[in-house]
Every structure is written in C-alpha cells, then in structure tokens.
Chains A and B, each alone.
Chain A
Amino acid sequence: MTEFRELVRCVAAHDGEAAERVAAERELFLLLAPRIRLYGLRHLRSETAAADLVQEVGVVLLEAVRAGRIEDLEHIERFVFGTCRHLVSRSRRNERRAQAFAGAVLPLSDTELPPSFSSVDSARLALCLGRVGAREQRVVLLSFQEERSADEIASELGISVGNVRVLRHRAMRALQRCVEGSVA
C-alpha cells in the first residue's frame, strides 16, 4: 500500500495539469481500478455496472485527493473501500448516480484498463468440468449457474450443507488447477 500513499501524496503536491500529477493520477487509477471493479462485480453482479463503479469511484477519489480531503493517507484503501460501499449502497436504492464534479477528467479510458474477469477459456473449462466428479460438477453448476444457496443445494442433492461446501471448494480448486494448468 506504500505505492498508493506515495501516489496520493504526489497528486496532492502538484497543481493544475502538471505532468507529474497527471502521471501519478493515471498510475493510482491503474492500481485501484481492478480492485474497484472486483468489488463492483461481487456486489453489482454485472461487468457494465462494475465498470461504471470504477469511473464513479475514480472521480470521487481524485476529487478528494486534489482537494486534500483524505485525512488518513496511511490507509487510502479504506477511503476507496468506503466510497465503493457507499456508491453500491446508493445504486441499490436506485438513486440517480451523482454527477462528476465540474471539470473532472479521469486519467484513463475503459480500453486502457487491465483485462476484465472473463479471461477463462470456456472450451477448456468445459473439458475440465467434465473431469471433476458428477456430484462436484452438479454442486458448482447449482452454485454459480443457477445461483442456488448451500441450503437449497443440500436439500436437492440430499446431502448436508457442510458437504455442499466441501464438494464446491474441492471442485473449484480442481477446476482452477485445470484451467490454469497445462493439462486439460
């Protein structure tokens, strides 16, 4: 997190459109954007909504940094987390999204952001899925494709909730090794 703090200090220390400030803002955003997007994906369940969240949080963060409003620089990530939580909570209440502050220019476009999460080879995943046990396969599909709770899965398969969690974890571990490894 030292890198975050140094970048924030750099942004705050330079005025206007100074090259150092622009570069620091860009780097800060590059470091934080994947985390904001991951949070958005988990809580908003949509790539598009997660990408919107990245932009919104980026605006709020830069505004705060430029204005010197972040009191606890040692824990800049807490400010970002709090902003994410606030914006997601507001989004859930279906409030209108806040307008970016006047003159805000984000240092990156969407195309410059790191790759998003749809990077798993689906053909490979299918073959890997065929290699986990039938019951493990059913548990992960019910969990992630049908979004069933552990209780619902346990009831459907006639096993305990604890067993569902063990099977799901075991399958996810095996799938991860398979899709990321060299043997399908």
Chain B
Amino acid sequence: MNCPIPHELLVRYWARDLPEAEVDAIDEHLFGCDACFEASSRVAALARALTDVIPPIAIDRDLELAQGRGLRQASNDFLPGVPKEAWLRPGTDLLVHRLRLELEDVERVSVDVLLPNGTALLSFADAPFDRSSGAVLIACRRHFVEQFPPDVDFVVHCQDRSGHESVTKYTVLHRVG
C-alpha cells in the first residue's frame, strides 16, 4: 500500500468503487497509519454528509429524494419581473422556488442571488437544470431563509447552443409565519 494513500483512492474506497483486495489492503493500512486514517476520516465525513444534502439549485430528482427522506416541501412558481411572496409555514422544511423559463435550447445556466440594491449574495456559475422541466429550481432550506435577507433577486443567465446569453430576473419575497 502506497503511503500516503492518494485522495482519489480514498474517494473510490468510500464510494465503494474498488475491488475487495484493494479495500482489504486499505483497511489494514488505516489501522496502522495516523496520516491516512485522518485523511480517510475527512473523506468519510464528507461522504456521509452528502447522503442527505440538497443542492441549493436542484432538479426534480433531488426534491423527490428529499421527499422520500421525509422533508416537507412547499413549491411556488415565479415569473420574470413579477415579485411574489414565498411563505415558510410551520412544518415546512424546504421552500422550492420554480423560476419559470424556456430551457429547451439551453446549454448552461448560472444563477446570481442579489439584494434589491444589487449587492451580490451568492453566485452559482454552472447550475444544474432539467431542460424538460421549464424551470430552474431553487431549493431554499429553512436555515437559508433565516440566515439571508428576506427579499432577494435571482438573476438567471442562460446560454444556448449558439452561445447567445439571455438574462431573466425573479424577485422572491421570503416570509416566515
């Protein structure tokens, strides 16, 4: 066993993507090597945390999996340029903002989250989307609603196959009650 074990190999180990003989060799090495044990523990912690994370920009499959884990969701449609409230009610774990737009010919989506005065809060340069859904889905967990200012703009940049970029803005007014 090469020491330190390469990070890539530890990722494969925790992704269960290695032959048994290699798993066995790594197992034994981890009992005797402090540095590799520490590195493996960090990969393990991340792998475990990933089992129930919801990406902030999701696709329907992510939301279905979250629902399967018992997360209660409230979904709202948003149209460009039409500010609308999204209420986080007691018992709701996740607000889903469906930012409606045509995605048929889109190759790449990026999303900026801004305050009403234009101050940038967050930026997602290469966001997942499902062309057939007709919406970019923002998965807003309760802690995000409580952590960030209530009124925000989601600015969606779509690049189509010819390289043309379109920009649409959605205003979401988060409310808790």
Interface residues of A (CB under 8 A from B): 1, 34-35, 38-39, 41-43, 75, 77-78, 80-81, 84-85, 117-120, 122-123, 125-127, 129-131, 133-134, 137-138, 140-141, 143-147, 149-150, 165, 168-169, 172-173, 175-176, 179-180
Contacts and interface: CB of A to CB of B under 8 A. Distances in A.
A39 B44 CA distance: 10
A149 B19 CA distance: 12
B82 interface: no
A169 B55 contact: no
A103 B28 CA distance: 30
Interface of B: 7-8, 11-17, 24, 27-28, 30-32, 37, 40-57, 62, 65, 109, 122, 124-129, 141, 143-144, 147
Nearest to B109: A134
B28 A78 contact: yes
B127 A134 contact: yes
Contact of A149 (B13, B17, B27, B56): B17
A119 B45 contact: yes
A11 to B, nearest CB: 18
Contacts, number: 133
A144 B51 contact: yes
A138 B53 contact: no
A6 B124 CA distance: 52
Contacts of B32: 1, 75, 77-78
Contacts of A131: 124-125
Given A118-B48, A168-B15, A169-B7, A81 B31 contact: yes
Nearest to B40: A38
Contact of A39 (B14, B27, B147): B27
B45 A123 contact: no
Contacts of B44: 38, 41-42, 117
A125 B49 contact: yes
Contacts of A75: 32
A150 B17 contact: yes
